[in-house]
Amino acid sequence: MGGVELELPLRGVTVVALEQAVAAPFATRQLADLGARIIKVERPGRGDFARGYDRRVKGLSTYFVWTNRGKESVVLDLKDGTDRALVDRLVEQADVFIQNLGPGAAERLGLGGTALRARHRRLITCDLSGYGPEGPYRDKKAYDLLVQCEAGLVSITGSTYFPARPGISIADIAGGMYAFTGILTALYERERTGNGSAVSVSLFDALAEWMAHPYYTQAYGGTPLTRSGARHPSISPYGHYRCGDGAHVFLSVQNEREWAALCERVLRQPELAHDPRFADNPQRHVHDDELTAVIEKCFASHTADGLSALLDGAGIANARLRTVAEFADHPQLAARDRWRDFDSPVGRLRGLLPPVEVAGREAAMGAVPALGEHTAAIRAEFACPGHHGDSAAE
């Protein structure tokens, strides 16, 4: 990177994470990338159960590698008095405590946000749950796909005939990102007031926020959204169109200026811009099947590559449908030098830099920890006065 390398903004911030699965680990990984110290408390035996989701990254779990860069792993038995006391010492010196254990588990351990904030005025606590601390779903177990179902997302995802799960853990990601921004907000507030905050995020509330457009469509439009496959549910033309070489090009028309340009410069039928069936977006959407037939008749004389160039020249947004392998070799990522190597228990791995760029700084991209890799060091560092710690690794 050019220029002077600046210190990462969260250097000196310590986060104790009693976390598992995806949502909370995803939130704390963002903090680690910004320079925070993340002490990840894992259970004896298998640790965070996300470690066992699969073994596709040279024997490591894809989910764990993705969400746990740059952390210290300490194995502690919270039912053991000595280990439980060590957790208290960790929290005493922490800036942030985050947990996403099962419903009520943190409270039973004396590690709920209310109890901790009563003892530590400057501590920021973040409780990440499935459905929130109140209501009839408070104690209901919540995993990503199940929350998607309860929030109505799966009902509008997929083809006309079959609902589908989005290809990523979108409820976990939503909850994790709101936890991340909530913690950043609390750190900023503490700089002004000197007091910590109790942050609470539920996966259901996070995804409910993202369901606003479908809600408004149903509540005020009179009809619910229907599943539309890879086409947009309310904008036309917006989706995939077959070309002469059998490939598909995706395009999107967002306004009347772009619609006129598509008609004149790509379809070579300027009169379509004034056809009553296609007079505005609501009408185009009603007559989407007819419009698709018109577009694909024109596109039949073009290859996908040639059509993409033609659309670019006309100022029409477009894309090719890439596989994950093709995404990994995307020329835009290569041109912008977005890939970095980072350490792990199985050697160097490759991953993408986080999306927010700050001039003069680059994300830490720390190592993925082995289970209990830092247990001995943490015991020694946070030992009671006069106690030399336990040097035996767990």
- List, for residues 326-372, the tens digit of each pLDDT value: 999 999 999 999 999 999 999 999 999 999 988 889 999 999 999 99
Q: What is the pLDDT of residue 233?
A: 87
CATH classification number, 238-320, choose in 3.30.1540.10, 1.10.630.10, 3.40.50.300, 3.40.190.10: 3.30.1540.10
Tell me the mean pLDDT in the region 60-76: 98
Do 88 and 60 form a contact (C-beta atoms < 8 A)?
Answer: no
Tell me the mean pLDDT in the region 63-70: 98
Closest CA to 138 of 221, 44, 205: 205
Q: What is the reported pTM?
A: 0.90
238-320 shares the fold of 14-211+331-381: no
Active site residue 330: no
Q: Which stretch of 51-55, 74-78, 217-221, 373-377 has the lowest confidence by average pLDDT?
A: 217-221
Q: What is the pLDDT of residue 222?
A: 82
Domain boundaries, the chain: 14-211+331-381, 238-320
The average confidence (pLDDT) of the chain is: 93
> What would be the CATH architecture of the domain defined by 14-211+331-381?
3-Layer(aba) Sandwich (3.40)
Considering the chain, what percentage of its residues have pLDDT values greater than 70?
96
Closest CA to 284 of 316, 314, 318, 255: 255
pLDDT tens column, 136-188: 999 999 999 999 999 999 999 998 889 999 999 999 999 999 999 999 999 99
Distances in Å between the Cα of 75 and the Cα atoms of 15, 60, 86, 181, 230 are 16, 18, 11, 27, 45
Do 80 and 10 form a contact (C-beta atoms < 8 A)?
Answer: no
Phi, psi of 53 (to 5 degrees): -65, -40
Examine the pLDDT at 390 and tell me if it is beyond 60: no
Three-class secondary structure of residue 28 per DSSP? helix
Q: What is the pLDDT of residue 3?
A: 40
Query: pLDDT category, 5, cuts 50, 70, 90?
Result: low
Tell me the mean pLDDT in the region 115-135: 95
Q: Looking at 120, 213, 232, 302, which residue is catalytic?
A: 232
| CA distance linking residue 228 with residue 240, whole number of Å | 11
Question: Between 390 and 70, where is the model more confident?
Answer: 70
Closest CA to 253 of 315, 209, 298: 315
